[in-house]
């Protein structure tokens, strides 16, 4: 679909005032996405074809709304066989260190990996419902 030229991306946590019930629609969509990310591979629709765990973590944190440890995210997604290493690494950064392994989602169809799992906010997290 075509959108007006002045259309811009907005942070979901800082949206402008919206008409009608659009704010509640956005809130419902975010809650649904947050829940769906915890038990499916729907992240494939949000991530580039290849990514590092750090890049994928950024997407998950933005959607879920609370911090997630990169090592836990990697462990869970690998154990559920939702992501696979591509055999390539990301270009080095100014920070140095070992080059990051690149991954891809194993399937680009929706897969329910664990309907009982959930990424939960850390105990005592502020600003998280």
* Residue 96 or residue 16, greater confidence: 16
Domains, the chain, in order of start with CATH, read: 21-105 (1.10.10.10)
CA atoms within 13 A on the CB side of 27: 7
Query: Residue 44: pLDDT above 70?
Result: yes
Say if CB 116 and CB 38 are below 8 A apart. Answer: no
Q: What is the pLDDT of residue 117?
A: 66
Residue range 87-113: mean pLDDT, rounded: 92
* Residue 35 or residue 122, greater confidence: 35
């Amino acid at each position: 679909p075509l959108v007006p030229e002045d259309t811009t991306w907005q942070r979901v946590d800082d949206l402008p005032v919206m008409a009608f019930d659009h704010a509640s629609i956005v809130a419902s969509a975010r809650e649904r996405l947050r829940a769906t990310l915890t038990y499916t591979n729907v992240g494939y629709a949000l991530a580039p074809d290849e990514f590092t765990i750090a890049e994928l973590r950024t997407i998950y944190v933005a959607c879920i709304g609370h911090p997630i440890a990169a090592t836990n995210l990697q462990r869970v997604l690998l154990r559920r066989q939702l992501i696979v290493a591509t055999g390539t690494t990301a270009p080095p950064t100014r920070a140095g260190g070992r080059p990051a392994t690149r991954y891809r989602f194993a399937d680009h169809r929706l897969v329910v990996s664990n309907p009982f799992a959930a990424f939960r906010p850390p105990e005592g997290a502020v600003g998280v419902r």
